[in-house]
Amino acid sequence: MSSLLVIGHRVPFKGRVSLALVVIVYAASALIFRRKPSSSFPPLVPSALPWVGSALSFLSNPRGFLARCHKRYGPVFKLLLGGREVVVVSSAAAISSIYASEDAAPHAMHDQIFRAFIGRSPKHTEFNVEKEIFPLLDQVFSKRALEVLTQPLARMVFARIKHHTRIQSAQLSLMTFLAEPLYFTVNVMLFGNGYPSDSFDDFRIIDESMPERFLGSPYWFLPSVQARGRLLPRGIDYVKKIHIPENNSALGSDFIQTLQSNGVSPEEAACHLLTFTWGLHANTQGAIFWLFLFLLSDPVALTAVRDEIDRAIEHEFGDLHGFLVDANLKNLDGPYFTLLTSAIMEAMRLTATFMGIRVANSDFELRNSDTIISVRKGEHLLGNVDALHMDESVYPNSRAFVYDRFAYCEGKFRMDGKPWFSFAAGRHLCKGRYLAMYELKISAILSLYLFDITPVGGPPPPWWPPRAQKANLGFPRIENIIVQLHPRDHAEGR
């Protein structure tokens, strides 16, 4: 609406001018007379708006805003974000300390994602994600459990893309080609055949709106509301039929039974499950998408990684069938795929943004290189991982995609001794990090071994830095890329 509304009444033009002047005067006076911080360290980033502080600048472009603050105020500074004072640090020692400290409790991230995905807050129960679900995830996503659990994953992913090997050429979405087979396969593997694993299109529609939903930015949500309206009933149906034999799974049954034993209704359990599913897939999809964007814009890197994959499949596994049978964690983590592992880590270093906020539950001191940071109870803490990953003294030529940056050197990854926080840090490392790396490697190996992939139309590479600075969660967003798919010679007849 073009006119300003106050408590449901239309305000005349003069009233609007007066009201605007009042707001301006109030903001200016608040800026002038705001009480000075108790200490000049860490420096407080100034802002013109009381309570709101720097929230608007931060939410519109977190990476860019933090980078500007880091350049101006140094490795430690303080922000006012919506009434919360947030201490931001960017040294490896301080980031590790924050996320490992018992004095810094994790923010209720699951509840925030739940509100963004479902459109409301979780209903009040005794259920606590960290206490009830995290131990379950530690078991299911441990390396030992995944050795058995992921054995069929490569074969299932191959089954989803095999039909493309029989087509001379095809144009399709790069994200769909890479992510849909993983989405379907991992859902079946973890939740059983009864889960709505054919819901990839609706999942992507919701995921596209998640940054705006999560950050509270203005956005027209109707397509994602409709997608969620289609997905929720299917999730509820899955929960109600969890005891049917076809729904037996590695995670789904225990997940739902844990919720229900804590008094969570089937409808609410479905909402928690769908929220968890978003966390399970969203960042993995972003990582595989960006890995291919970097490879497609760097012919040297693409050739080197593909040659390594061809050599491993043909000489170490015998052929594609041998690889599909023996594509376990041990083989994929071994020396056969050194360059691929390095390229994945490098793509994540450049793009994965970890924005986990902690809250100080007591006064304590945080060591930051040569300085001590006094943290007050109730203050929020944020590790600025991006500043560290882009530090030229740590990673020379830091803004370039150097595909072999982390390759083996004398039997060890070159990251040894260097900070790499793309799977978070401390006590709350990503629970699914082993599964995620396995997914990324399987998708990349099969796609590069079986197909030649070239972009069609759209903006030309290089893709980094992103041309459209959109709000993002986890990975920068970019317009969808259409690619041309050609089966390679050894894909014929598969």
Task: Please report, in range form, the residues annotated as the binding site for heme.
Answer: 430
Whether the CA torsion 223, 226, 228, 231 is positive or negative: it is negative
Strand 104-106 relative to strand 357-360, pairing: antiparallel
- Binding-site residue positions: 430
Q: Where are the beta strands (DSSP E) in 348-434?
A: 357-360, 364-368, 371-375, 380-383, 408-409, 412-413
Question: Chain-centre distance of CA 404, in angstroms?
Answer: 23
Dist. CA 42–CA 206, nearest whole Å: 38
Exposed / middle / buried, residue 393 (Cβ in 10 Å: 0-12, 13-18, 19+): exposed
**DSSP element (H, E) containing 258:** helix 252-261
256 phi and psi angles, rounded to 5 deg:
-70, -40
Q: How far apart are CA 384 and CA 356, in angstroms?
A: 10
Torsion-angle region of residue 410: left (phi > 0), alpha (psi -120 to 50) or beta?
A: left
Contact 200, 173 (CB under 8 A): no
Q: Output the six-digit token pair for 120.
A: 């409301």
- Residues 80, 57: Cα–Cα separation, whole Å: 11
3-state secondary structure of 141: coil
Find out whether the peptide bond into 462 is cis, omega within 30 degrees of 0: yes
Q: How many CB atoms lie within 10 A of CB 226?
A: 13
> What type of residue sits at position 144?
R
Report which of 480, 232, 237 is spatially closest to residue 224, judged by C-alpha positions: 232
Separation CA 350–CA 262 (nearest Å): 40
Distance CA(54)–CA(65), nearest Å, equals: 9
